[in-house]
Amino acid sequence: MFISNAFAQTAPAAASGGDMGSSLMSMLPLVLMFVVLYFIMIRPQMKKQKEHRAMIDALAKGDEVVTAGGLLGKVSTLTDSHIGLQIANGVEVQMQRSAVVQVLPKGTIK
């Protein structure tokens, strides 16, 4: 009496081929954002790390350097992972090589 009749409906026909193109177009902005992110952020950072690693590997005795903590000194001893840094006459500190931020020109520290 109060219940209406339910009629079965046919399933909609599957689209052939057109759906695949629209899904690729919806992914295009995401792919473009990743490409832009790679060239603007990731690639320059990798280049900077490579240059820093080359600078650390090229350290030699007598080089004048600046550390991440702001210390200026001359490299007095070298090991694989540490350096001895002379910051004053008779004062030498041991630091990790990775703490070196910049190699200064000779004669900068007096």
The pLDDT tens digits for 14-34 are 555 556 778 888 889 999 999
Query: Tokens 């992972």 correspond to what residue?
Result: 81
What is the model's pLDDT at position 93? Answer: 96
Q: What is the CATH number of the domain that holds 89?
A: 2.30.30
Angle, vertex CA 49, rays to CA 43 and CA 52, nearest 5: 145
Does residue 85 lie within any of the structural domains?
yes
Q: Three-state DSSP class for 103?
A: strand
Q: Which CA distances in Å does 32 have to 5, 28, 46, 76, 86?
A: 52, 6, 20, 50, 50
Does residue 3 lie within any of the structural domains?
no
Does residue 26 lie within any of the structural domains?
yes
Higher pLDDT, 77 or 17: 77
0.85 cut: is pTM over it? no
Does residue 42 lie within any of the structural domains?
yes
| Residue range of the domain that includes 80 | 18-104
Does residue 6 lie within any of the structural domains?
no
Does residue 64 lie within any of the structural domains?
yes
Tell the burial category of 65 from Cβ atoms under 10 Å away from its Cβ (0-12, 13-18, 19+): buried
Contact predicate 87/57, CB 8 Å: no
Provide the domain count of the chain: 1
Residue 82 scores a pLDDT above 70: yes
Does residue 1 lie within any of the structural domains?
no
Does residue 63 lie within any of the structural domains?
yes
